[in-house]
Amino acid sequence: QLVINITAVFVGGYVARTLGVQDYGKFVFAFSFVQTFTLISNMGIHVVQVREIAKDKENAAEFFGSTLMFRVFFASITYGLIVLTITMLDYPHITKQIVYIAGISLIFTYIGDSCTAAFKAYEKMQFMALINIIMTLVSMFLRVTVLYMGYKLLALSWTMAVISILSASVPYIVL
């Protein structure tokens, strides 16, 4: 974990240096803007899901499905609010595009969080640790590769969305 954290610092520096001040600022703003909306789609569901699945493992699949649908519903509402809010604000078109893409990442992050909660309920933390390490390494590799290939802000943002989709899919497949 220490090696990953140290590597992440260098990757973050590479991303900032490659994008430049303005584009990096837009990138960070977009993901920070989206992050401010997380309370709406999260609402403490993770803790409840872990507790309820751990308490009643026989009905875990049913509860998992219900919770997943609940998360998708609230993440969709949140995405709508993100789009509505950023559209009404006076930001450049590219900034709005990055926010839209970052919002897509948010939806998949919350879908993946349902799987994380299920792993915790079954006390299978070793799977989550391994998945997190692998996905972090893949994420760093993809970000560096996209920027090294000469792509910039928009491509990096889409890369982050793809990473979110992968991060949500891998635990679901393993589960």
Which of 149 and 170 is assigned the larger pLDDT?
149
> Does 23 score more than 90 pLDDT?
yes
State residue 52's pLDDT score: 85
State residue 5's pLDDT score: 87
* Residues in contact with 117: Cβ distance below 8 Å, sequence separation at least 6, in sequence order: 45, 46, 49, 50, 53, 67
State residue 126's pLDDT score: 82
What distance in Å separates the CA atoms of residue 140 and residue 135, rounded to the nearest whole number?
9
- Most confident of the following: 23-37, 57-71, 118-132: 23-37
For the chain, percent helix, then strand, then coil, each to nearest 5? 90, 0, 10
> Does 39 score more than 80 pLDDT?
no
Which of 126 and 101 is assigned the larger pLDDT?
101
* Residues in contact with 57: Cβ distance below 8 Å, sequence separation at least 6, in sequence order: 121, 122
Average pLDDT over residues 107-118: 84
Beta strands in 88-171 (DSSP E): none
> Does 41 score more than 80 pLDDT?
no
| Best CA proximity match to 44, nearest among 113, 103, 104 | 113
Provide the mean pLDDT of the chain.
90
**CA distances from residue 3 to 6, 29, 137 in whole angstroms, order as listed:** 5, 27, 11
Q: Count of alpha carbons within 13 Å of 34, Cβ hemisphere only? A: 28
- Most confident of the following: 50-54, 75-79, 152-156: 152-156
Residue pLDDT, tens place only, 71-102: 888 889 999 999 999 999 999 999 999 999 99
> Does 47 score more than 90 pLDDT?
no
Give this prediction's pTM. Answer: 0.86
**Residue 146 token pair:** 């996209």
